[in-house]
Structure formats: C-alpha cells, structure tokens
Amino acid sequence: MNTTFAILNETVANGTEANCTETFVSSASMENCLKLFERCMTIACFFSTFLQVYVIRKAIKYIKRGSGDECLHVFLLSMTLGDILLTSFCYPIEQMREQQLINPPTWVNICQHFLTWLGLLVSSASLILLNADKLLFFKFPLRYTNIVTSTKAMMIVVFVWVGCFLFVCLCWWLECFECNQSCRTLLIFKDKVSMYIVFTTSACILPSLTSLFVAIYIMNVVTSHRTKLSDENSNSSHALASRLRTFYFIFMATIFTAVTLLPYRLYNIKRQLFTDEDDSYSCLDLYYPWILLYLVSLNAILNPLITVTVLPQYRFRWLCKVMGCATNPSPVHV
C-alpha cells in the first residue's frame, strides 16, 4: 500500500479526532466513506475485468485477421493486459485487505505490490506507443506502412514488457523501501527518497507527460493540416477517417490518464521533498491524498469503458444499436 493509508488507518484505529475541528470532515465520516468507496471499487474492478477480457479477445481477433490498424490493436492489447493485472488481482487484493475481508500471506502482498508497479508501468508505456503510432501516421502518411508493421509492433511490445519487468526488479533489488506488517504497506526509507523520486518520475510522470504532449501535438497537426492530409490520402479516405476516429480515442485516453495519474504522483514527490516535522494530520490532510490515490485506481478501471464506448471496432452490439453506429466497421488496409 502506501504511507497515506498507513497514516489514515492508524488515525481511524485510534479514534483520533485531533485537528479535525477546522474542517467539515471527521474521522468517523472518513472511515464510513472509506469503507463504502472500497466496496464500490471492488465491484468496479470485477466489472472492469469483464470489459478488459472482451477488449483482449477483440484485439487478438483483429490482429489475427490482419484487418488493418494492426499496430493499434497490438498496443491496445498491451495496455489492456497491463490494466487487467491491476483490476483482476492487484486492486481487489488491496481493497479486500483494507476492508479486513482477507489476510493474505506475505508472498501474496509482495506479488500484489510488484504486479501493481508492473501494470502501471506497462499501461503508461503502451499509451506512449499508441500516441507514437498516430504521430508517425500523421507526420509521414505516405511512408507509414513502410515504417510501422505489426511484426515490429509486437517486437516493441515484448521489449517494453521485458524492460518494465527488469526495471521493477531493479527497484526491488535496491531495497528502497521497508515492507511493513507482512508487506501490507511499503514505506520509503528516508535515505532512499531520491530513488523513489527517480522511479516515480521515470515510471509514472514522464510517460504520462510524454503521451500528453504527443497527443496535443497530434491534435494541432490534425486541426491545422486536415485538408492536406485528406489530399494526400485521397485514394484511402476511409483509412484516414478510421485513423482520425482511433486518434480521438487515444487522445481521450491520454487526457484521462494524465488527469488520474499525475496529481497523486506529484503530490507524493512534493511530500517526500518537503516533509513536515509535525506528526499531526488534519482530516483534510488525509482526505485529499486519499482522493488522489483512488484517481490512480480509476485509470485502469475506466480505461476499458472508454475503449468499448469510443473506439468503433470495440463497441458492444447493443450499445451500437442504441447509438445507431456500425458494429463491425469495414476492414481498413493501410
């Protein structure tokens, strides 16, 4: 887990009402809100896992069929596999453990923390690949098919997974944190704060910011040169329309990722760099990072929902009947 919850659980367990008088939030109301939100998050994780299995099956089908946009499906498959690690195992274990519904052994807690880091890292890296794919298409539309192929995309994805796995292994091998209470929580050593900041910046902040800047840049390219792109792709207007639809999906996913992941990471870095010598915490001090923490969880939970509602190839049939859209778009060969 993290120090935020360690402090919060200790405060609630001790019945501490100190420093809550200046806010409208009491420790009792925080405890009730925590329990309710944990239960909702647990249910949402299982529903999200169902959507992710659907997206994975669809992605594999499109990759095997070679129906066009193979790189999109390969990178989306990689991102969804990273998310499903979080929603099918990591977050449910974490949430049920905090609700005291289960008391997993130490090795399960270690696996949960390790896979959480891996899933977050792979998901963010895959989003960068999705944006890079669209950047290459809109910058080099005539040479795109020679630059990017499904084989290259699969090799890149394998490299990303191996690299992320080794990176997380390195962080654990360097022992930058202390496992507390059978590894229920991870506490950063004071003399290893710099390593934590390096990890958080390289694994969470930079991928999110890179994806955001690339997505904004592509949006400017699409807006400024839409006519030129249409002329260059006059013989494949359907391909261009498909690329634009998938780009808008990636743009929405990128904005959502930045909004959900960045605030908590930046808050943690600020907290590590500017530690408060006062050990007392107001309820508002605990409530604010708690909200930011669950924004991180919502990223993986809501990603497949964005996919099945925005991306045409992945929409549910019943949803398409309601929205009046095509359930199976025509194949696009580019």
In a domain, 332, yes or no: no
pTM of this prediction? 0.81
**CB neighbours of 44 closer than 8 A, spacing ≥ 6?**
301
User: CB count, 10 Å around CB of 166?
Assistant: 11
Q: What is the pLDDT along the chain (334 residues), one digit of tens a residue?
A: 444 444 444 444 344 444 444 455 566 777 777 778 888 888 999 999 999 999 999 999 999 887 667 888 999 999 999 999 999 999 999 888 887 888 888 889 999 999 998 999 999 899 889 988 888 887 787 787 788 888 899 999 999 999 999 988 888 887 767 777 778 887 776 666 777 787 778 777 888 888 888 888 888 877 766 555 555 544 455 555 666 677 788 888 889 988 888 888 888 888 777 765 555 556 666 677 778 888 888 999 999 999 998 888 888 766 555 555 555 544 333 2
Please spell the DSSP secondary structure of 273-331, one letter per residue.
HS--S-----HHHHHHHHHHHHHHHHHHHHHHHHHHHH-GGG--HHHHHHHT--SSPPP
Between the CA of residue 279 and those of 11, 16, 207, 286, what are the distances in Å?
A: 11, 13, 33, 12
In a domain, 328, yes or no: no
CATH at residue 70: 1.20.1070.10
In a domain, 330, yes or no: no
Beta-bridge partners for 187: 178
74 token code pair: 């390969």
Beta-bridge partners for 119: none
Provide the number of structural domains found in the chain.
1
In a domain, 331, yes or no: no
In a domain, 48, yes or no: yes
172 token code pair: 């654990």
| Residue of 110, 112, 118 whose CA lies nearest to 93 | 112
Task: Indicate the SS3 state at residue 68.
Answer: coil
In a domain, 37, yes or no: yes
Which range marks the domain in which residue 94 is found? 3-323
In a domain, 157, yes or no: yes
